[in-house]
Chain A
Amino acid sequence: AQTVTQSQPEMSVQEAETVTLSCTYDTSESDYYLFWYKQPPSRQMILVIRQEAYKQQNATENRFSVNFQKAAKSFSLKISDSQLGDAAMYFCAFPHAIQGAQKLVFGQGTRLTINP
């Protein structure tokens, strides 16, 4: 069964600094995708970034980038130049193919605090 583990329940960073959130997963599949979602106090789950496992290059979206280590089954999120609006819960997610559909398996989440 696919599992997703986020070992950091809480993280904090100074505004404008860089922070890395960790995620490990377990799967027997060879071709898959990985996602980071952000859930601010509004509770809306917002896609941050997506990585395709067959791509060697790490995904980047503006200040957000990933460090994808397929052999180690590690998928960390780096946030550069942290801003107050980045404060949120961050979830790593792995899509599992089920009959006729997709099932997202989420980690437990990391609560990120930005200190001004």
Chain B
Amino acid sequence: ETGVTQTPRHLVMGMTNKKSLKCEQHLGHNAMYWYKQSAKKPLELMFVYNFKEQTENNSVPSRFSPECPNSSHLFLHLHTLQPEDSALYLCASSQTGQYTDTQYFGPGTRLTVL
């Protein structure tokens, strides 16, 4: 499944570093999502973009900064992270963002914060 790609697949960073996660979808969708998957916790929605407009910020700390330059690309900029931010970050996309949509996921970026 290569409809949604994410880079890098693995990232190790210090608390003072700045890094970015990239997501690209090749499905012609208009809505894109960032999820966080921590150990022993359900997947948590972080951000939603629909037609390039941010429609949801699920009380995410400001050290996470999303960017959606177009409907095919989504970034998550990271700065001054904490060790508890270590997790799998999953990107997803769907056709229109309506509740009837099916979301398709990328392979994730495994982030470790030292």
Contacts and interface: CB of A to CB of B under 8 A. Distances in A.
Interface in A1-60: 4, 32-33, 35, 37, 42-47, 50
Interface of B: 1, 31, 33, 35, 42-43, 45, 48, 50, 53, 55-56, 58, 88, 90, 92, 94, 97-108, 110
B101 A45 contact: no
A106 B101 CA distance: 15
Contact of A98 (B53, B56, B106): B56
Interface of A: 4, 32-33, 35, 37, 42-47, 50, 91, 95-109
A98 B1 CA distance: 28
B20 to A, nearest CB: 20
Given A43-B107, A45-B105, A46-B1, A101 B48 contact: yes
Contacts of A47: 102-104
B102 A101 contact: no
A42 B88 CA distance: 12
Contacts of A98: 48, 55-56
A47 B50 CA distance: 21
Given A44-B108, A45-B105, A102 B90 contact: no
B102 A100 contact: no
B99 A102 contact: yes
A105 B33 CA distance: 13
Given A43-B107, A43-B108, A102 B97 contact: yes
B2 to A, nearest CB: 10
A43 B88 contact: yes
Contact of B55 (A44, A50, A96, A100): A100
A54 to B, nearest CB: 11
A32 B99 contact: yes
Q: List the 3 closest A-B pairs by CB distance, nearest first.
A: A100-B55, A45-B105, A97-B99
